[in-house]
Amino acid sequence: MNPRIVVALVIAMTSVMGCKKPDVAPAPNPKAQKAANSQKAVKPAAAVPGDKAAAPEAEAPGDAASVDKLVAGVRKTAGTVAGLGDETFTLYQRCAVRALDDCAARVFSRAASTAMKPEICSGIDNEGARTRCTDSVYYSAAMKAGDPELCLKISRAEQKRSCRSMLVTRKARDSADEGACKGLEGDAERENCRYQVLVNQAMKDKNPRLCDSLKDKDRCVSSVLEMMAREKGDPTLCKGVKDVRNRAICEMEAARIPAREKPELCDKVSDPAMSAQCKAEAYLYKAVGADDVKLCQKVANAEKRSWCKDNYYSRVAMARHDVSLCKKVKDPHLVEMCTQMAAPPPPPPPDEAGHPPSKAPENPGPAPEPAPVGNP
């Protein structure tokens, strides 16, 4: 909302609420309103020097009419509520003032953030909202410039600390400068900074030993080994991961893609359930690519074999828009999805003259092969 609209609304509210309860809604006085607007509207420009929005400019089409309509609406509502008694009018007055304060705070905060000018926030009366506004501008400016020193201008301690920690850590990681982490305040922030620097360097160098000095050494080593195993497609590289489940996840991620060509790689996944899932995914990929559901029969686990067939029929049905194939799916949830997704697309609408769309060519050529699937 334009700040001038907020000013006009405030004028309308105060002109009604600043006097005694009227018996009827006051009639608008265009001349008085125009004079009041011209006097009151100068305040935002003086409070926020350099704000382009506060400088005189050409009105957008319908802008003045919109302001008049809003002001008239506020006057009418205030006058109607005033006729319901002092208690009701007092409640309305408090509610309306809070609403206008909140609206003004949002308007100035947005303008300040867009222009990256914290001085615009001085147009906000509420001290807390004004502080949040300026802090938001400094935080955004610091993030945009990547400058931790700008975070020091933030008033609220928690946000200032978070801002600076994030940027110092980012710069230390990108420059591989572990020593830069010493400038952070708390032990947790410093250790997190060191972790980001060393795990990033360990991944670049493919050297898990760089994790040795970290408190959370195991997590760092797991991340590096999983990255190396996934890149090489070799589940055996995951043996250095201490946590049993994380090791199995590492092996699964390493085997998943190359297993499409060599399903036997799934045998190197230590967790039996994950190994079975790995093979089901591998044979599903082969079955859809070869358009041959019989390849799912090679999945030893009965449950995963059924999963492979269900996913084969549903994917082919959706690719071909052949709802009849959904009847071969056994999983009821997958049947419902298959039926919805495989339904033929609706015919195109008639043209402007009401004529039906032209028919497709009689020999459009063979249907395209279904695209190879990734992870189910």
Burial class (CB in 10 A: 0-12, 13-18, 19+), 314: buried
Tokens 């449950």 belong to residue: 303
User: In this predicted structure, what is the pLDDT of residue 103?
Assistant: 85
How far is the C-alpha of 336 from the C-alpha of 28, rounded, in Å? 62
Among candidate residues 56, 25, 111, the one with its CA nearest the CA of residue 12: 25
> How many other β-carbons are positioned within 10 Å of the β-carbon of residue 91?
13
User: In this predicted structure, what is the pLDDT of residue 359?
Assistant: 58
CB 298 within 8 A of CB 319: no
Among candidate residues 38, 32, 4, the one with its CA nearest the CA of residue 16: 32
User: In this predicted structure, what is the pLDDT of residue 373?
Assistant: 44
Quick one: three-class SS letters along 16-32? Answer: HHCCCCCCCCCCCCHHH
* Total residues belonging to the chain: 376
> How many other β-carbons are positioned within 10 Å of the β-carbon of residue 67?
20
User: In this predicted structure, what is the pLDDT of residue 277?
Assistant: 96
Encoded tokens for 160: 């200032």
User: In this predicted structure, what is the pLDDT of residue 64?
Assistant: 67
Encoded tokens for 178: 């572990």
CB 71 within 8 A of CB 12: yes
Among candidate residues 237, 217, 230, 224, the one with its CA nearest the CA of residue 256: 230
Sign, CA torsion 224/230/232/236: positive
The tens place of each residue's pLDDT in the chain, 376 residues long, gives 444 444 455 555 544 444 333 333 444 444 334 434 433 433 333 333 334 444 444 444 446 677 677 677 777 777 777 777 778 878 877 887 788 788 888 999 999 989 999 999 998 988 999 999 999 999 999 999 999 999 999 999 999 999 999 999 999 999 999 999 999 989 999 999 999 999 999 999 999 999 999 999 999 999 999 999 999 999 999 999 999 999 999 999 999 999 999 999 999 999 999 999 999 999 999 999 999 999 999 999 999 999 999 999 999 999 999 999 999 999 999 999 999 999 988 887 777 776 766 655 544 444 444 444 444 4
How far is the C-alpha of 268 from the C-alpha of 236, rounded, in Å? 7
CB 113 within 8 A of CB 140: yes
DSSP codes of every residue in 267-331: GG-SSHHHHHHHHHHHHHHHHHHHT-GGGGGG--SHHHHHHHHHHHHHHHHHHHT-GGGGGG---
Encoded tokens for 172: 């230390």
